[in-house]
Structure 1
Amino acid sequence: MESAVREDRLQTISKSSYLINGLSLPVFAVIAAVVLVAGRIGALPGGMVGAFALMLVVGAILNEIGIRLPIVKDYLGGGPIVIIFGSAAMVMFGLFTEDQTALIKSFMVDFEFLNFYIAALITGSILGMNRKLLIRAAARYLPAIIGGVVVSFVGVGLVGALIGYGFKEAILYIGVPIMGGGMGAGAVPLAKIFGAQLAKDPAEMLSIMIPAVALGNALSIVIAGLLDKLGKMKPSLTGNEKLMVVKEQETFQEEKRSPVDYKIMGSGLLMSLGFYVLGSILGKLFPQIHSYAWMIISVAAVKAIGIIPEKFEEGAFQWFGFVMTSMTTVLLIGIGVAYTNLSEVLLALTPQYLLLVGVTVVGAAVGSGLVGRLVGFYPIESSITAGLCMANMGGTGDVAVLSASKRMELMPFSQISSRIGGAFILILASTLLKLFS
């Protein structure tokens, strides 16, 4: 009886109140004030407690700004972009004290929160996919993704060579991060891969990649809207939300989700860490491929074979969902403070750079559309899902692209692009670095 009353009370609060991070505005304001004042007077605890408190509060505030700013919320990635660049600006202009900046950097670098987040993301997102979808995608959908990647990389490389930016530089620093599956699972691990293999600071690499990811996301949304208009002008090019040209549309249902079980979620935590350690072992034994890539290969292989009981796959998915929902703003603050040099980012935004971003995104759409048609897809739907959903910012970008093109029914395929396609780019990046070095 008491639990039912409490549940009713929570539902009433959620319906009647403006919520930030799940809290009503007055409650959040009090907590935020306590944390920010503690930071200013030097009373903020050290280690994980202080870092989490500060990053959650600042991340929530910047996210609220980002999801409401005109243009930014519709075309530039909204909250995530404002969190990253806003926190980087706070460092540049001294709004974070030196102690606060050092605390956040230590949490990200020394305590490796980034790796903890990525482990949950990769394991849960892949194990949470429909197994049938994962297996059958390789036969028809992945060639469309590869078509977009090849055309975008060749195009940006050639244009980069023609305008003096450099063939390999254009591919590695612009093409790869745009096509890499967003920020947390794309640009950030790519920066670490690049830093390890090129003996450079990952922060320097990320400062080059972040503008490409943000601009690529914005352009993907714009092109998605234009493709929708093209479909109305040329009906033969579109299936009107159906990807397959065949009469009997193949459909793939999302895995059935179970109620949240905290014990099962705990097993998901252990599995994510176990797969991360396995990737580290394989990376040490076979250093030609980065440990992130080995982790992805391991998780995908286990999912395809089907050797993990469904309840533990569900645990990994629930843990991934908790981490993604509760800790993404923490990660983005960390990226902004520890890995983003705003001065270098601003220097990167040249007309030359903008041209290369445009070539990459358009190449992804064109390549995926052409190859998609060859394997039995409608060109517009293939361009949107296998092309633009590779070039956007992962999950939030998928929603924005599919909303702009009015094709939300294609979400399962866009998730393949963001999850499996992004993983493919991480693996490809390791190979390209070896090839170009």
Structure 2
Amino acid sequence: MSISSAESSVLTNKRWRYFLQGHKTGMFRFPFGCLQWQKIMSLRIGIIPLPVYSVILICLGILLAFGKVSGDISIMVALLAACGFTCAEIGARISGLRQIGGPVIVSIFLPAYLVHYKFLPAELVGSISDFWHTTKFVYLFTACVIVGSILSMDRQALITGIVKIFIPLGVGSAIAAIVGTLTGMAFGLSAHYTFFYIVIPIMAGGIGEGAIPLTLAYGEILTIPQEQIFAQVVPAIVLGNLVAIICASLLNQLGKRYARYNGQGRLYDAEDGMPAEPINTSSAKVEHIAAAGMVAIAFYIVGIVAHKLIGLPAPVAMLFLVVLVKLIYAISPKLENGARTVYSFFSKAMTYPLLFAIGVTTTSWADLMAAFNLANIVTILVTVVTLTTVGFFVGKWIGLYPIESALINTCHSGMGGVGDIIAILTSAHRLELMPFAQIATRLRGALTITAAIILLGIIS
């Protein structure tokens, strides 16, 4: 007679309680110090048991002393995990900072600070940078999160959410552009500079997909070197991303206080339309989890091919394909359940290590500091807050959960790329919104760039 995994877990817990009771009553005894050791093992830095964390730090220190921190994936996973979860713990324990996304802020900007002032060993920074640029591990993370979150969604909620998010995005972008420009003018900046060099870059989709093509077009129209324009717009993008992280954390706090505004990661309540699909909450088998991981990788490879053929960004192409597959019931419930487990693993185990790597490799402390003057700070703050606020109220008006709708708009003001979307959504504890955030950042960013280039061409 076989027993289920749930029954097995119950039996295991009963046996453990029996052993503990027997130990306390003197029926039998554990080896000396066993209970104390178990208590120590229950202490964690992030997901890492404290003794394991200590061993990792000691070994990494020895390797650094010998200058032999290689790019071996096992060493790099240990390194990024130890550093990432350390930063997250620091951010979570600082009063005040904790309420505005401290774990995410510290995980990104503390390593950027340490790199800028050369407090991190050059061998360490070089190893992380080589690993990051060689493996592009963030794209595996993105594939698993997007595929897992989409396959876990209710079909009706998915399609309705995709259609509806363009309304708060469009309205929010227009109002934020107007309010942000007027704010810059009130602080003595010209309307031209505020709009084209601060407001538009914030909503352009980041650096790679936003600032670079935007400044290339600016350079051709204005006959100014692209590098000169790029240096002016990047600080606004970096500071805008920091404000977006803080807004996301505050939205999460708001959702905890006012449950009626909180979809807890759902953009739209399927029960307002047709009945929601039943969700399989049973434990996924190992083979289904592994298969779901391969499905996510396959989708991303198809996205890369689509990018080569038609120029559509690989994550967006992958997103559309997964949505199509979900809607036509091409994936079995067992694989969907496996994908949910894959998503859960990556979101809990890999987020802060990736954020630390982003801080080391792609976040510029100098660019952040360059944006710190009163006019820039207030203009950027007002632009991002306006975008977020409009998303909240317009989303509520069209039937979306206000917190989730506002978060999608907030992602529109991030630095772009999957890493910074991860930072914003992690701050709000809603990584399952990644598919909608990709649409906000990439597609809406492309529309913003196009409109700005056309307008600049007309007035120049």
In structure 1, the residue matched to 2:283 is: 259
Determine whether 1:57 maps to 2:82.
Answer: yes
For residues 234-275 of structure 1, the C-alpha deviation after alignment (integer angstroms, 9 at most, x for no partner) is: xxxx9676999x9x9668578433314322222222122211
Counterpart among 416, 420, 431 of residue 436 in structure 2: 420
Q: What aligned pairs does 1:334-353 form with structure 2 within 5 A after superposition?
A: 334-353=357-376
C-alpha change, 1:88 and 1:275, in structure 2 (3 Å) is same
* Aligned partner of 2:305 among 264, 281, 288: 281
Task: Say which is worse superposed, 271-280 or 16-25, in terms of deviation.
Answer: 16-25
**Structure 2 match to 1:217:** 245
Q: CA-atom RMSD, angstroms?
A: 4.1
Which residue in 1 is equivalent to 2:390?
Answer: 367
Q: Which residue of 1 aligns with 2:353?
A: 330
TM-score (norm 2): 0.72
Larger Rg: 2
The offset of 1:117, in angstroms, is 1.9
Greater Cα offset, 258-267 or 60-69: 258-267
Cα distance, 1:293–1:4 mapped onto 2, change above 3 Å: same
Give the Å deviation of 1:327: 1.6
Judge which range, 144-153 or 118-127, deviates more.
Answer: 144-153
Secondary structure of 1:38 counterpart = helix
Kindly tell me: are residues 396 and 161 of structure 1, through their superposed partners in 2, closer, same or farther at Cα, counting changes over 3 Å?
same
Q: Which amino acid aligns with 1:349?
A: F
Distance in structure 1 (CA, Å) of the matches to 2:300 and 2:43 = 38
Checking the alignment, whether the CA contact within 8 Å between 1:292 and 1:426 is kept in structure 2 is no
Distance, in Å, in 1 between the alignment partners of 2:78 and 2:256 is: 43
Query: Is contact 2:248-2:424 (8 Å) kept?
Result: no
Q: Quick one: which amino acid aligns to residue 424 of structure 1? A: A
Residue 106 of structure 1, CA deviation: 0.9
User: Structure 2 CA distance, aligned partners of 1:45 and 1:376?
Assistant: 51
Q: Extract unaligned runs of 5+ from structure 2.
A: 1-7, 21-34, 217-225, 412-422, 454-460
Residue 156 of structure 1 is aligned with which of 176, 180, 187?
180
Distance 2:448 2:354 in 1: 27
C-alpha distance in structure 1 between counterparts of 2:314 and 2:85, whole Å: 32
Match of 2:343 in 1: 320
For the 8 Å contact 1:146–1:368, the answer to whether it is kept is no
Contact 1:156 1:356 in 2 (8 A): yes
Q: Does 1:32 align with 2:32?
A: no
Letter aligned with residue 426 of structure 2: T
Secondary structure, counterpart of 1:45 in structure 2: coil
| Residue 299 (structure 1) aligns with | 322
Q: Is the 8 A contact 1:144 1:367 kept in 2?
A: yes
Checking the alignment, whether the CA contact within 8 Å between 1:389 and 1:398 is kept in structure 2 is no
Q: Does 1:47 align with 2:66?
A: no
Residues 1:86 and 2:110 aligned together:
yes
2:291 alignment partner AA: S
TM norm structure 1: 0.75
Of 130, 137, 140, the residue aligned with 1:106 is: 130
Q: Which moved more, 1:62-71 or 1:127-136?
A: 127-136
Aligned partner of 1:403 in structure 2 is none
Equivalent AA in structure 2 for residue 350 of structure 1: N
The SS at the match of 2:68 is coil
- Quick one: which amino acid aligns to residue 154 of structure 2? N
CA distance in 1, matches of 2:251, 2:152: 30
- Rounded Cα–Cα distance in structure 1 between residues aligned with 2:310 and 2:203: 26
Q: Secondary structure at the match of 1:259?
A: coil
What letter matches 1:326 in structure 2? A
| Aligned-partner residue type, residue 427 of structure 2 | G
Q: Is contact 1:216-1:357 (8 Å) kept?
A: no
Offset at residue 308 of structure 1 (A):
1.7
Mean Cα displacement is larger for which, 427-436 or 309-318?
Answer: 427-436
Instruction: Give structure 1 regions of 4+ aligned residues with deviation exceeding 6 angstroms.
Output: 203-207, 223-229, 238-244
Which amino acid counterpart does residue 367 of structure 1 have in structure 2?
V
**Superposition deviation, residue 335 in structure 1:** 0.6
The change in CA–CA distance for 1:196 and 1:260 in structure 2 (over 3 A counts) is farther
2:427 aligns with 397
Aligned counterparts, 1:215-254, within 5 A: 215-219=243-247, 221-222=249-250
Residue 194 (structure 1) aligned with residue 210 (structure 2): yes
Q: In the TM superposition, what is the alpha-carbon distance from 1:15 to its structure 2 partner?
A: 9.7
Contact 1:119–1:276 (CA under 8 A) maintained in structure 2: yes
Q: CA deviation at 1:140?
A: 5.0
Q: Distance in 1 between matches of 2:392 and 2:378?
A: 21
Report the equivalent of 1:67: 92
Q: Is the 8 A contact 1:152 1:360 kept in 2?
A: yes
Alignment partner for residue 308 of structure 1, among 305, 312, 331?
A: 331
Which letter does structure 1 place at the counterpart of 2:140?
F
- Between the two proteins, what is the percent identity of the paired residues? 21
Distance 1:220 1:195, change over 3 A: closer
Specify the alignment match of 2:405 in structure 1.
Answer: 386
Q: Contact 2:293–2:342 at 8 Å: present in 1 too?
A: yes
Pair 1:130 & 2:146 matched: no
